[in-house]
Amino acid sequence: MSDTGSIQRHLSENGISRRAFLKLCTVMASALALSPEEVAGFAERLGQSRRPSVIWLSFQECTGCTESLTRSHAPRIEELIFDFISLDYHHTLQAASGIAAESAREEAIKLNYGNYLLVVDGSIPLAMDGACSTIAGRTNLDILQECAEGAAAIIAIGTCATFGGLPGANPNPTGAVGVDNLMQQDLIAKRKLVNISGCPPLPTAISSVLAHFLAFDRFPKLDALLRPIAFYGNTVHERCARYHFYQQEKFAESFDDEGARKGWCLYKLGCKGPTTHNACAIYKWNKGTSFPVEAGHGCIGCSEPGFWDNGSFYASLDSIVLAEVDGRQADARAGLSIEDGKQIYDSNCVYCHAADPTTLETAPDAVANVLRSGNIRAHRRLDFAENQIDALEKYLKSLK
């Protein structure tokens, strides 16, 4: 049942001191990279905000996303986050089942119409009239349509709910799609939406985004794929502890060679870290113990759309060709526009650099020179034509 008392009151009633709360806020403010003005009011606003009702729907999923959230660690952000919300319906965590569970959802919708937060994990099947996944005789789409209608905002959790994920992998027999896709097709109500991708996503990202919404009534700044820039603005590669080996061109050639034992870079073993945006190298899992690359396996790109179909997990990025710009063949003689330059940036550069090019520290002509020189390994596979580099430079200059 919903409890809409203030978060601060709820925390103190449950024995959580103001000091512990402020410590928690400091951690989340830092994770969210809040501006100094936002940091100043964050704890106060979060403490005074009402505990919102949250309805959590799970569709075509493996429970990994919920596992990721519940198996979190000190400073127990994700444990505490349950004190920030009133989790009125969760397929996996709720004790109720059958008619009682469905009634709990209906009741929460009725009581909090227009104000509750809707969390979705798992993809939604559209093939065969949605028959591939049903709950209490209703298709996933039907339930999502009902719940999205009265939601204040929607948080899509995990790569299944954001981009279709594993169920959406080729040949996608169930016609699986993510929440954003359904909004684009006008199949569900358009609501504020944030995508927290990853398979599974980082619990710190989930809880911090939730806290930001409670404090400011909006999501933090998002990238083009609606992911919070604070967590997805950089690549795994940029924050990887093996990065210095990459720069020294020291690569493991097999999983049991001397290089692998010495912790060398996994690029040649198929690591997709250079094209994958996520903060797992910082926050990690299991009490901050490790993440895939630290454990000795290359990143498989789990927070990016279509990662199951983007070439073999063990094929080097050098052998994988990124999509052509807008499907056109590069014509080195044709003049390309600033808009073409933007598209080149958005389709290629963002995989390793800032989503917002105005924050690049390298000048536009220097960017063009680096691309022409072919001196940086990650750029070699892009093989830009001269006019594409010109268009990119023009675009970057137009932003200054």
Residues that bind ligand F3S in the complex, under the rule CB under 6 A: 198, 236, 276, 278, 280, 291-293, 299-300, 302-303
Output 195 or 303, the one with its CB closest to ligand F3S.
Answer: 303
Output 302 or 368, the one with its CB closest to ligand F3S.
Answer: 302
3-state secondary structure of 222: strand
Minimum separation from the CB atom of position 370 to ligand SF4 (A): 18
Chain centroid, CA 112 distance in Å:
27
Minimum separation from the CB atom of position 250 to ligand SF4 (A): 10
**What separation in angstroms does the CA of 135 have from each of 99, 102, 140?**
11, 9, 7
Q: How far apart are CA 316 and CA 269, in angstroms?
A: 6
Indicate which of ligand F3S, ligand SF4, none lies near residue 291 (CB less than 5 to 8 Å, by partner kind): ligand F3S
Residue type present at position 51: R
* Residue from the set 81, 236, 336, 392 that interacts with ligand SF4 by CB under 6 A: 236
Task: Tell me: does residue 393 bind ligand SF4 (CB under 6 A).
Answer: no
Q: Can you state the angle between helices 98-111 and 140-149, rounded to 10 degrees?
A: 30
User: Tokens standing for 31?
Assistant: 């994770």
Residue type present at position 103: S
- In this chain, which stretch among 10-18, 127-135, 155-163, 202-210 interacts with ligand SF4, using CB under 6 A? 155-163
196 forms beta bridges with 157
Indicate which of ligand SF4, ligand F3S, none lies near residue 246 (CB less than 5 to 8 Å, by partner kind): ligand SF4
Output 47 or 292, the one with its CB closest to ligand SF4.
Answer: 292
* Torsion-angle region of 311 (φ positive above 0: left; ψ -120 to 50: alpha; else: beta): left
Minimum separation from the CB atom of position 199 to ligand F3S (A): 6
Minimum separation from the CB atom of position 339 to ligand F3S (A): 31
Q: How far apart are CA 298 and CA 293, in angstroms?
A: 5
Q: How far apart are CA 236 and CA 336, in angstroms?
A: 32
Output 212 or 272, the one with its CB closest to ligand F3S.
Answer: 272
The total of other beta-carbon atoms located within 10 Å of residue 387's CB is 16
Task: Tell me: does residue 265 bind ligand SF4 (CB under 6 A).
Answer: yes
- The backbone torsions φ and ψ at residue 353, rounded to the nearest 5 degrees and listed phi first, read -120, 180
Task: Tell me: does residue 299 bind ligand SF4 (CB under 6 A).
Answer: yes
Indicate which of ligand F3S, ligand SF4, none lies near residue 340 (CB less than 5 to 8 Å, by partner kind): none
* Residue from the set 26, 169, 225, 243 that interacts with ligand SF4 by CB under 6 A: 243
User: Tokens standing for 56?
Assistant: 């959590």
Is residue 357 within 8 A of residue 399, CB to CB? The reply is yes
Task: Tell me: does residue 379 bind ligand SF4 (CB under 6 A).
Answer: no
Task: Tell me: does residue 117 bind ligand SF4 (CB under 6 A).
Answer: no
Output 65 or 188, the one with its CB closest to ligand SF4.
Answer: 65
